[in-house]
Structure 1
């Protein structure tokens, strides 16, 4: 901290005491006074120091009924759940602290039981998505040297060889299993705050995903900071929306468990059914929710249409993963009560869930809502390219320090060394995000210093996609994000099939990382330094996505196909209004959030609910022709004669 000699020597030691607690470290503006400096200091008294390990065991022992996950009409108490039986299986599998059991994320209450079981035996929870191709799953398992995977009956066949699998569903449904675990022994697991509690994979620019290791202390202290802000508390009813590839699900599940809140678990793919989601939010009286802005926009579209106060029980609503626009903020305000706290949150996985926050409580005249300020017990620095503190209004890289900074990447000491820097004895994470700070101490996002992109809340290193493509028979490529929804791969070569490239990517990458379009060029444009000149890359024609991958256009043949075709054109915003009835939705530029919108259009246009026809078969058969067949199975007379079913809190 540079005080510019403006304070007497006797005050210097006092200022030094405050240095590490100041949320924003930058060159002090001459107009700042010592009184204002003191106002910026937050002394947070938390009870996290009472625990040397993740406090799940103690919470469950002292308050067995404190957290009640709910899956649709079914509730269960942790006090009577079969977590000890799963602990037996994990212990039988010889899991030590240095080894990592995985919970195979399936989006139901088994996930909560699985996480509790892993933590109770002193293991580390690492979520894997069933949407990942087999080759990628094996790569992730190999990277962590995992020996045991918790699975569901639908996913147990995905693993073989030396991997031990534990079927959670079989244990939960087997009443004959008697636990042999010593509860006192489980409560005394030798776990410290420095032990690894969770591992989250993020995209890696080298072509290999990075395994972010979060300690018990990181998670507990982050959650205590959120509790201090009243972002989440013990009385809240939370809803589990985030995908397991998004670290926000750690807060939705582990945060609720630690604080004693209630968790609402949606049915499978329930987060993609807007009407069902809105009904659950209302009837289960959900008071806390985190969602990406794109999903919130779609939800607001529905709420504006049905004119039902589905969000009036909401006490605290967090939006993050993407920049929140002032327009979206106003839409959210119009659908919640005046007392609802609306938060814009930000944070890479390496700093544990969230690291900055801003309470959206006024109308914004500018075009941007700030990232805000650091969470309590977090610190932020803004450095220029020379590693010096920036002045107010100057652009620089955001560095995040404090209780949330991760332990490091598994077996990637080189990347860990680049990502972490020690300043004044404290460790900071280099985010790579370019920001500025205003005179009020608020941080504003500007962009990236590299080519990392965010797509619907998911952080993507385009270098990982490029490495994947280079493993095929092409000689050069570059991947660019266009607009808000599309990744475009520019490929050098001739005689290359787009379908072959797409198939190659599907076998190695998760769905959200597969480019919407592949453009084959004879030569990639280069600048004077011999590097790809991204500014000279041709603008993609997204209307060409509407034809099938074989370039054969199959026109609608029936009235139902014509109606479905028109809805696809509206959702995908195709210029020529021509989409082949055999084209797959996700191969012509569609993504999960657009599919949510499409399904809602089906419900509105054809007057059915998710009980009549759920979103799952539409996802499994994602062409116009197949969707038309599904919609033709509906007995519209029955649909019109019955009211939409509701779920009541008493259930």
Structure 2
């Protein structure tokens, strides 16, 4: 090791000078002696220390450093690294020395404390830090004169309290380090052996080193005799920009004893970091050092979380990003005032159109005024009173919204798609006494709700009626009045009504117009549902800037043929929708070769959920060059949008940014301690600006949590986690709370859980987002409630976008601490059981691991031929190779005897044909192609001519059993090559026949036996219940025929999907499991004879059985419960122990076991052979 070099040089000089070395073999300790003594040392104290010091430490989890990429599990380190160094200089070195001296701490411990605090900040607040260091290992004086390898690597763990000052952290590090050094002789191998479940000791990849030495030129000189030798400099550089690096990240403090100054070197692996990133990290370290030790406002006595790693250029960048102030020529106004202004400018311009109906600006104003006066005069709507509106897409929707604004009311949209229960709850929450409806929604409300049919008001207008405009002019609406309410999902289970002022809306629209996202020349297609605040922008926003709105008929936004026609015929120039819907629409027009309908677009906006680079590339291949693509972002509480980004696939190659603040908006990104973050660091986005809402209606407590005052300005805490890149663009990372977005809709999972918990039979539940596309609800129920009942309950209480796609019903959520595997997620369930509402512990769900095999739902491939499944191959080859052709080992039989009543032969035959038609595996052939060595399966039509055999009779039980046995061993019962894998036969009882003179075959009578046989290549035991359920259903309902359901998943589809699964990880697992095992080795069981190499199996067997008495059975179950294992696992352990004894101590045991292998929900109701061995 390196300290050996000094010993070596000393002895070399002595041997050269004197011609001899002064040592005594009898007294001098040799390295070999050290090695033997070390093995004999009692290390009990050290063992206990390290076990305690590393308790609950995640030694196999890397620190979340700002990596540019991650090393894959099967990827080896290349050894390529980059290095960067900097000198402290005189001033910083002096301050560093003074601090160490005044606090009575060694320089090494001060440097280590600095490193820990730097890692705390660099990892965005990681408190439990464990790194590796090398110790010299010469813990006894006798070792100092020995040449050898003594160095030992040890883990250095430090659990930081962010609120402690740097000085206190330094004291903690010193105490911790002194204890670790005391027991540093404990070999690393022993430390690792204390943690057998650790997969990889990655803590060693982050390291620290402190070097004290004289200047390099003096250090590298040695004397041999009278000659002075200078070591030639050498480098482990691979190239000018690369070095060899053993670590992923190491910080080296160097103390030059000659100059009494310091320098730092950072070495980092290029497998994980770009050189530019390491350079930035080095700059952050310098920034922090100067904050701590040299600034006039020294931070060593402040909490460490107050330290900042932000560089000066990043601070300037954030200031530049937030320099968005724009003075508009017009003062903030009210929504209806802006509309009337546009009417005065161009009264005959088309304002709104729906199919064959249309209104100009002046016509629209007239109808709005009529309805407004009705609200004021007949329904006495007061200023600021909430008026709900529940209408489908129509001209009435537009008229109703603007009329509520003109009458001084507050518009509150209710979705016609919501269940009646939810509509009533929202009306009650807003305390609204009036709901505007039209002909399609009048039946949604009973007589307890006062409703006004907009259509009835407009159709009953007298042709000579006069609109008393003066009455409307006297409504004292001002820009600070509330204009509308939008419900957002609430964490308490109750939707939160966000209140937006007139000025919030009009100024937000001005910001959009200023950057030319939205302008008066646009023809806007109204895509958003009324539960989405975007519909207010599309309707009211368009009308206050003088644009034209094209409305859709109900559900027209998902009627792509209709939508395509409108895009072309109405020459739509502005489209705004969520990425999911946009992707579906683009796929539709591409498949139909009608992409030219997008040629008129000039502004295409998307938002509400993540926009992918692939979607943008598809868009750019379709739209014209003069159409801008915008990614917009903003919660309802900031009014419409607060961030914008003009997308360009040439620049946005990896992700689509959220962008930067709109004019008159600004944002800050804060960490968990409320301090600004640096570029590339994740933090919560807070938004300030003209659109900040007025609070939640009736929920001052929630408003206080949502709004934060900073330097006299109100900021909305979005809960969105973002990062800012070097160009000042924000990138979305996720949600701080557990509110999610699904297809653009914000959803609080707690609201769904609370809805389900209102069912008396449900005692616990979890709702999770699955694969970005679905909601899955897991419920614990004490009754026989089914999935459809749960779905109906949710449909009657929740809007459609909050209905889970899947319901998993469990009698009891498992209590043992083993991992429980749900249908879509793997999740440790025990911690959730401490609260009835699992949402309260939902942060634990972040550790759920998605199984890629389960992540994508499988669908029908509409194929009739394909490669056989792995299970079919195994059965086919087993039958051909391991057994003689004279033996039928895979005939699966079920026998049923008629004990009461009779069966109709014809109905039974039709029922069988129905089942064979539905489950195509029961008519699928298997053929082996000798040319390419592939086993193929093909679906046949033999079900159309399928018949029930009725040739045999029996007189007594012995004859019946003989017939069954002969059928079981009949090697010609099936023919896989033509798809004959299923057989049904009626065995008639001869005595019953003699008693019954009518021997007609129309009925299957008492005592007759129905024998049903399957080949195992088409059937496993789990298929039994599926088969008989469908057979009984078909017989009882007298199904005559069944059309092919091309959409249902068939076994042949499973076989194809199975071949596409990435099995790399599985292959590696089994390779490692069986790497050194001889699979051809037979266990040394006490056999009476051996099978010769050319012998086939006879399939004959002897069976014996024992039964446990009640006491042993109960003890067995108790043992399993106490040790948290299943009865299967305990039984398997018993077998292994028994085989160990039976084989006279064979320790390496390998047996076979079968697994049902239906690992996806789609496979639960499919017949076929799924079992794996």
Map Cα deviations across residues 367-424 of structure 1 (whole Å, 9 max, x no partner): 3110000111111110100000111111100111101111011111111111111111
- 1:45 is aligned to 327
8 Å CA contact 1:197, 1:214 repeated in 2: yes
TM-score normalized by the length of structure 1: 0.78
Q: Indicate the SS of the match to 2:591.
A: helix
CA distance in 2, matches of 1:292, 1:34: 34
Q: Indicate the SS of the match to 1:217.
A: helix
Change (3 A) 1:313 1:205: same
The counterpart of 1:89, out of the listed 366, 369, 374, is: 374
Moved more, 92-101 or 387-396: 92-101
> How far did residue 173 of structure 1 move?
2.8
- 2:682 is aligned to 395
Moved more, 261-270 or 359-368: 359-368
CA distance in 2, matches of 1:313, 1:165: 41
- 1:373 is aligned to 660
Change (3 A) 1:41 1:559: farther
CA distance in 1, matches of 2:327, 2:746: 33
- 2:831 is aligned to 527
Bigger radius of gyration among the two: 2
- 1:347 is aligned to 634
Query: Does residue 312 of structure 2 align to residue 30 of structure 1?
Result: yes
- 1:441 is aligned to 728
The counterpart of 1:165, out of the listed 451, 461, 485, is: 451
8 Å CA contact 2:324, 2:666 repeated in 1: no
Aligned counterparts, 1:195-206, within 5 A: 195-206=481-492
- 1:469 is aligned to 756
Structure 1 unaligned residues grouped into runs of 5+: 5-25, 578-651
Change (3 A) 1:295 1:484: same
Map Cα deviations across residues 187-224 of structure 1 (whole Å, 9 max, x no partner): 44211111110111111111111111010011000000
Change (3 A) 1:204 1:341: same
CA distance in 1, matches of 2:463, 2:450: 19
Change (3 A) 1:102 1:37: closer
8 Å CA contact 1:543, 1:575 repeated in 2: no
Query: Does residue 770 of structure 2 align to residue 482 of structure 1?
Result: yes
Query: Does residue 340 of structure 2 align to residue 57 of structure 1?
Result: yes
Change (3 A) 1:492 1:174: same
> How far did residue 136 of structure 1 move?
0.7
Aligned counterparts, 1:2-151, within 5 A: 29-31=311-313, 41-49=323-331, 51=333, 54-55=336-337, 56-81=339-364, 82-91=367-376, 92-151=378-437
> How far did residue 50 of structure 1 move?
5.4
CA distance in 2, matches of 1:266, 1:53: 23
> How far did residue 243 of structure 1 move?
0.5
- 1:278 is aligned to 564
Aligned counterparts, 1:608-619, within 5 A: none
Structure 2 unaligned residues grouped into runs of 5+: 1-286, 288-307, 815-828, 835-840, 861-917, 919-1025, 1057-1173
CA distance in 1, matches of 2:317, 2:673: 31
Q: Indicate the SS of the match to 2:493.
A: coil
8 Å CA contact 2:721, 2:736 repeated in 1: yes
Change (3 A) 1:94 1:298: same
Aligned counterparts, 1:293-308, within 5 A: 293-308=579-594
- 2:535 is aligned to 249
> How far did residue 60 of structure 1 move?
3.1
CA distance in 1, matches of 2:738, 2:319: 36
CA distance in 2, matches of 1:313, 1:53: 28
Map Cα deviations across residues 32-55 of structure 1 (whole Å, 9 max, x no partner): 697996686334132441536652
Change (3 A) 1:429 1:176: same
- 2:1046 is aligned to 566
8 Å CA contact 1:478, 1:490 repeated in 2: yes
8 Å CA contact 1:291, 1:319 repeated in 2: yes
8 Å CA contact 2:350, 2:358 repeated in 1: no
8 Å CA contact 1:469, 1:501 repeated in 2: yes
Aligned counterparts, 1:587-598, within 5 A: none
CA-based RMSD of the aligned residues comes to 3.2
CA distance in 2, matches of 1:114, 1:575: 53
CA distance in 1, matches of 2:469, 2:1040: 63
CA distance in 2, matches of 1:365, 1:35: 20
Change (3 A) 1:281 1:560: farther
- 1:16 is aligned to none
> How far did residue 29 of structure 1 move?
3.3
8 Å CA contact 1:355, 1:374 repeated in 2: yes
Map Cα deviations across residues 155-195 of structure 1 (whole Å, 9 max, x no partner): 11322345322111222333537655421332442111111
Change (3 A) 1:390 1:132: same
> How far did residue 149 of structure 1 move?
1.1
The counterpart of 2:601, out of the listed 302, 314, 321, is: 314
Aligned counterparts, 1:391-430, within 5 A: 391-430=678-717
CA distance in 2, matches of 1:398, 1:41: 17
> How far did residue 529 of structure 1 move?
9.8
CA distance in 1, matches of 2:769, 2:315: 44
8 Å CA contact 1:97, 1:122 repeated in 2: yes
- 2:801 is aligned to 512
Change (3 A) 1:253 1:576: farther
Change (3 A) 1:414 1:213: same
Change (3 A) 1:31 1:187: same
CA distance in 2, matches of 1:192, 1:42: 26
CA distance in 2, matches of 1:342, 1:507: 38
Change (3 A) 1:516 1:120: same
8 Å CA contact 2:613, 2:649 repeated in 1: no
- 2:781 is aligned to 493
Q: Which structure is richer in relative contact order (CA contacts within 8 A, separation 6 or more)?
A: 1
> How far did residue 116 of structure 1 move?
1.5
Change (3 A) 1:49 1:188: farther
Map Cα deviations across residues 428-462 of structure 1 (whole Å, 9 max, x no partner): 11111111111111000001112111111111000
- 1:457 is aligned to 744
TM-score normalized by the length of structure 2: 0.44
Change (3 A) 1:568 1:347: farther
Moved more, 111-120 or 456-465: 111-120
8 Å CA contact 1:27, 1:389 repeated in 2: no
- 1:635 is aligned to none
8 Å CA contact 1:54, 1:216 repeated in 2: no
CA distance in 1, matches of 2:754, 2:1055: 34
Map Cα deviations across residues 239-288 of structure 1 (whole Å, 9 max, x no partner): 00001111111110011001000000112221111121112111111000
Q: Indicate the SS of the match to 1:323.
A: coil
Map Cα deviations across residues 80-121 of structure 1 (whole Å, 9 max, x no partner): 242222112211101112311122131111111111211111
Query: Does residue 719 of structure 2 align to residue 432 of structure 1?
Result: yes
8 Å CA contact 1:517, 1:545 repeated in 2: no
CA distance in 2, matches of 1:208, 1:163: 21
Query: Does residue 442 of structure 2 align to residue 156 of structure 1?
Result: yes
CA distance in 2, matches of 1:454, 1:35: 30
Count residues in correspondence: 547
CA distance in 1, matches of 2:798, 2:491: 13
